[in-house]
């Protein structure tokens, strides 16, 4: 049987092992935050932001950031219908409602017109998720946000390496969040990061992230308010420090994998993640294709064929409106159509060209078979 082609898998070298070992051996007592501080600093420098707070997950980072914006019961947060549940769940933790709107056909991200049309007096944020590393229409979204006095949040969990008009994804909105789950471009096993250039918002999240204890509070163990506990461990942060030393390599490899698939899939009746464009560079966290509408395509047959060939392919995210957990106020035909025709391709850093050839030839056979 041919070797297994995983869907994702982190790229870990001796350097990450060395730093994690050091953290496990020495990172206690006075040094228990050393790697956390170092990781936060390295990440902030990479992104070009003033402030970064390492968290145990991106979900937690979103929860704290939205709480800091004052989002609460009865409020509404506009987001794309087609998304991973982790972007919507924190909205519900605060008693607010995700308002699910349709996405654009090419970028699979928020349609600015739909966003503007769904704003109500209760709208408290626009949650721009850069899906699969594709960039949202940030220029238009920020302009709409500004006009209506609504902050734009960037869930950049999938957008390490993506750059919008000279600024890295996640550094542009009111705040940005990242995930370092084992499937993401950069990993700490589990983990996340909350980033901003807004010093007031940073202080607010810093207090919330420390069980509501304000910096400078003299009394030990004194909570100034009820906060959260979503901290990253020093051992995880040590792995993150090793990954940060390699971040350009990790991004470059994702981009090279995408380029290889793009040429392999050329000429087939499908769309893949958008190409770089003036002012836009994509991190290509996960190469994904969507078969053109009207082309006969049974995704379950393709995934079954992958499985037979020891390849792990995955489906595109589901429209959240179809999960039954959320109100669906708006129609979202693009999201619904993308969902059933989309497939994620294996994209871990160590994937070889021979392995990608195996994947491509199955897709080609599937889409070129006689009618
Ligand atoms: C992975 C992911 C998350 C969740 O990250 P966790 O670290 O698992 O909480 C949130 N949003 C998006 C867009 C993601 O891809």
Do 100 and 162 belong to one domain? yes
Task: Report how many domains make up the chain.
Answer: 2
Distance 316 CA to ligand 1 centre (A): 15
Q: Specify whether 19 is located in the same domain as 39.
A: yes
The reply to whether 232 and 106 lie within a common domain is yes
Q: Can you read off the two tokens belonging to residue 258? A: 């995408």
Mean pLDDT for 5-10 is: 94
Of the residues 184, 214, 244, the one at which a domain ends: 244
Residue 5 lies in a domain: no
Looking at residue 355, its pLDDT comes to 97
State whether 219 and 263 are in the same domain.
no
Domain annotation covers residue 1: no
Domain with 92 in it: 14-244
pLDDT-derived band at 256, boundaries 50, 70, 90: very high
Query: What CATH number is attached to the domain comprising 150?
Result: 3.40.640.10
Identify whether residues 203 and 303 lie together within a single domain. Answer: no
For residue 129, how far is its CA from the centre of ligand 1 (angstroms)? 10
The b/e string for 212-225 (b: 16+ C-beta within 10 A; e otherwise) is bbeeeeeeeeeeee
Which ligand 1 atom lies nearest to the CA of residue 129? 13
Last residue of a domain, one of 195, 219, 244: 244
What is the atom index within ligand 1 of the atom nearest the CA of 285? 15
Q: Is the CB of 287 under 6 A from ligand 1?
A: no
Domain at 319, CATH number = 3.90.1150.10
In a domain, 4, yes or no: no
Convert the pLDDT of each residue in 114-141 to its tens digit. 999 999 999 999 999 999 999 999 999 9
Of the pLDDT bands very low, low, confident and very high (cuts 50, 70, 90), residue 368 is confident
26-53 pLDDT per residue, tens = 999 999 999 999 999 999 999 999 999 9
Torsion of CA 26, 192, 8, 25, to 10 degrees: 0
Q: Are residues 181 and 325 in the same domain?
A: no
**How far is residue 132's CA from residue 245's CA, in Å, rounded to a whole number?**
23
* Average pLDDT for 258-279: 97
Query: What confidence category does residue 371 fall into, taking pLDDT thresholds of 50, 70 and 90?
Result: low
Task: Say if ligand 1 is within 6 A of residue 286 CB.
Answer: no
Q: Report the pLDDT averaged over residues 210-234.
A: 95
- Per-residue pLDDT at 369: 73
Q: Strand 342-344 and strand 314-315: pairing? A: antiparallel
Same domain? For 182 and 273 the reply is no
Distance 198 CA to ligand 1 centre (A): 23
Are both 240 and 282 inside the same structural domain? no
State the residue for tokens 């030839």: 361
Ligand 1 in contact with 84 (CB < 6 A)? Answer: yes
What is the 86 CA–ligand 1 centroid distance (Å)? Answer: 5
| Short-list 286, 320, 242, CA closest to 86 | 320
Ligand 1 geometric centre to CA of 307 (Å): 26
Q: Please report which residue ranges of the chain form alpha helices under DSSP H.
A: 14-26, 34-47, 58-68, 85-93, 112-117, 138-148, 199-209, 234-245, 247-264, 299-308, 333-341, 353-368
184 and 278 together in one domain: no
Question: Is the predicted pLDDT of residue 370 greater than 70, yes or no?
Answer: no
Per-residue pLDDT, 247: 98
Helix (H, G, I), strand (E, B), or coil: what is residue 86?
A: helix
The answer on 41 and 168 residing in a single domain is yes
Give a yes or no: residue 7 inside a domain. no
Domain final position from 195, 215, 244? 244
Q: Indicate the pTM of the whole model.
A: 0.97
Q: What is the mean pLDDT of residues 198-203?
A: 98
What is the share, in percent, of the chain residues with pLDDT greater than 90?
98
Bridge partners (DSSP) listed for residue 291: 270
Phi-psi label, residue 273: left if phi above 0, alpha if psi -120 to 50, beta otherwise:
beta
Per-residue pLDDT for 195 more than 80?
yes
- Say yes or no: CB of residue 170 within 6 Å of ligand 1: no
Residue 352 located in a structural domain: yes
267 assigned to some structural domain:
yes
Residue 1 has pLDDT above 70, yes or no: no
Q: How many CB atoms lie within 10 A of CB 2?
A: 10
Q: Are residues 203 and 270 in the same domain?
A: no
Evaluate whether residue 275 is within a structural domain: yes
Q: Does 318 reside within a domain?
A: yes
| 304-349 per-position pLDDT tens digit | 999 999 999 999 999 999 999 999 999 999 999 999 999 999 999 9
Mean pLDDT of 159-179: 98
Residues 106 and 230 in one domain: yes
Give the model's pLDDT for residue 33: 97
């Amino acid at each position: 049987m041919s070797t297994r082609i995983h869907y994702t898998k982190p790229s870990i070298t001796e350097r990450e092992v060395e730093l994690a070992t050091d953290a496990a051996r020495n990172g206690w007592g006075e040094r228990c935050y050393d790697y956390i501080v170092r990781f936060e600093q390295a990440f902030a420098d990479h992104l070009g932001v003033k402030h970064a707070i390492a968290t145990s997950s991106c979900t937690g980072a979103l929860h704290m950031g939205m709480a800091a914006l004052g989002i609460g019961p009865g409020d509404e947060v506009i987001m794309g219908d087609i998304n991973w549940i982790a972007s919507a769940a924190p909205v519900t933790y605060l008693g607010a409602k995700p308002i699910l709107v349709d996405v654009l056909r090419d970028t699979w991200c928020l349609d600015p017109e739909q966003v503007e049309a769904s704003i109500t007096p209760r709208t408290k944020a626009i949650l721009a998720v850069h899906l699969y590393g594709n960039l949202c229409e940030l220029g238009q979204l920020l302009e709409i946000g500004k006009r209506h006095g609504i902050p734009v949040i960037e869930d950049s969990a999938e957008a390490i390496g993506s750059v919008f008009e000279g600024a890295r994804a996640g550094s542009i909105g009111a705040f940005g969040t990242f995930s370092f789950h084992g499937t993401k471009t950069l990993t700490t096993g589990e983990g996340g990061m909350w980033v901003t250039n807004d010093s007031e918002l940073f202080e607010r999240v810093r207090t919330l992230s420390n069980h509501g204890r304000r910096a400078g509070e003299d009394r030990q163990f004194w909570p100034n308010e009820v906060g959260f506990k979503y901290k990253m461990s020093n051992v995880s942060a040590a792995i993150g420090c090793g990954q940060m030393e390699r971040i350009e390599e990790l991004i470059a490899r994702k981009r090279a994998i995408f380029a290889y698939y793009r040429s392999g899939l050329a000429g087939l009746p499908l769309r893949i993640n958008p190409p770089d464009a003036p002012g836009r560079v994509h991190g290509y966290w996960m190469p994904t294709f969507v078969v053109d509408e009207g082309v006969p395509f049974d995704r379950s047959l393709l995934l079954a064929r992958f499985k037979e060939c020891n390849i792990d392919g995955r489906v595109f995210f589901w429209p959240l409106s179809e999960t039954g957990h959320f109100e669906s106020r708006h129609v979202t035909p693009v999201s619904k159509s993308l969902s059933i025709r989309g497939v994620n391709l294996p994209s871990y850093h160590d994937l070889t060209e021979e392995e990608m050839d195996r994947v491509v030839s199955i897709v080609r056979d599937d889409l070129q078979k006689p009618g």
